[in-house]
Amino acid sequence: MAIKDYLPDFKGALTGFYEENVKETVETKTQEFKHLIQQNAAIGEILPKLTKIYAKLKIHCLRNIALETLSFILAFSSLAVMFAIESIPARDSLSD
């Protein structure tokens, strides 16, 4: 008889332990990680699109703010010109 006949069946013991205690956990965690990876891939596909949309919105908002500021400046300057014109004394005749 060989020595291996006197040693316990380590392979059988490990296989039994794996199937009874570890197999279900490993398979469950594998599925969870697979699902997480799929979610991350989906987010990775969506993120550049969202970034582009955000950039366009930001540019649009900045452009609107600039236009509103410009219209305010133009309105204010036209009022200033009106007041300046009104403050000039009127001449009754040009022959002074």
Residues of the chain scoring pLDDT < 70? 1, 3-7, 90-96
Please report the pLDDT score of residue 40 as a whole number. 86
Predicted pLDDT at 86: 77
Whether residue 15 lies inside any domain: the answer is: no
Q: Is residue 10 part of a domain?
A: no
Whether residue 71 lies inside any domain: the answer is yes
pLDDT at residue 94 in the model: 55
Position 95, amino acid: S
Q: What is the number of domains present in the chain?
A: 1
3-state SS, 15-53, equals HHHHHHHHHHHHHHHHHHHHHHHHHHHHHHHHHHHHHHH
Tell me how far apart the alpha carbons of residues 70 and 82 are, in angstroms, rounded to a whole number. 18
SS3 assignment, position 8: coil
pTM of the model: 0.42
CA–CA gap between residue 77 and residue 86 (Å, rounded): 14
For residue 28, what are the domain limits? 21-85
| DSSP letter (8 states) at residue 18 | I
Tell whether 46 is covered by a domain. Answer: yes
